[in-house]
Amino acid sequence: MKLALGCDHGGFPLMEAVRRYLSEKHIEVEDFGCFSTESVDYAPIAAKTARAVAEGQADYGVLICTTGLGVSMAANKVKGIRAAVCTNELSAEMTRRHNNANVLCMGARMVDETAALRMLDIFLGTPFEGGRHQRRIDQIAQIEEGTL
Ligand code: RB5
């Protein structure tokens, strides 16, 4: 498994914990930064991270900003991306089971490190259920195409 990572200055402290955790688990990453608390714009970083997932260079993306909101809005503009802001274990599980989310977005001021790493584990370990949920995410794609 390979993950694409991206954060802004607000997400940097939590992303550092995610980086350490993924390194301990020997999970390969493509890291689009940032690498300090110096102020940066989140949209270009979210775009690069999301494109790496959409183009198949990574299986999933992890995006972190202060709230998770800005990076999710930016990532969801990339065709084929289903980015979900998760704030608890249930949201991380259900967005994989029902939405086949391919980018996990979190907010460094919304969740603590323990919760974030738990959500990451759940997100990566939960399969998509398919069935009626496939029809529903196909409809989301139709919105993207302008046919719904
Ligand atoms: C940066 O100040 C903050 O706006 C950003 O991290 C993010 O939370 C935006 O949605």
Does ligand 1 come within 6 angstroms of the Cβ of 81? no
65 catalytically annotated: yes
Structural domains for the chain: 2-145 (3.40.1400.10)
CA distance 107 to 6: 12
Residue of the CA atom closest to atom 4 of ligand 1: 66
Shortest CA distance to 70 belongs to which of 111, 42, 49, 33? Answer: 42
pLDDT tens digits, residue range 1-23?
Answer: 999 999 999 999 999 999 999 99
Among 66, 73, 77, 105, the mutation site with the greatest number of ligand 1 atoms within 8 A of its Cβ is: 66
For the four alpha carbons of 20, 22, 25 and 27, in that order, the dihedral sign comes to negative
> Maximum distance among all alpha carbons in the chain?
45
Shortest CA distance to 103 belongs to which of 135, 129, 73? Answer: 73
pLDDT tens digits, residue range 15-65?
Answer: 999 999 999 999 999 999 999 999 999 999 999 999 999 999 999 999 999
* CA angle at 64 for the pair 123 and 96, rounded to the nearest 5°: 20
pLDDT tens digits, residue range 69-108?
Answer: 999 999 999 999 999 999 999 999 999 999 999 999 999 9
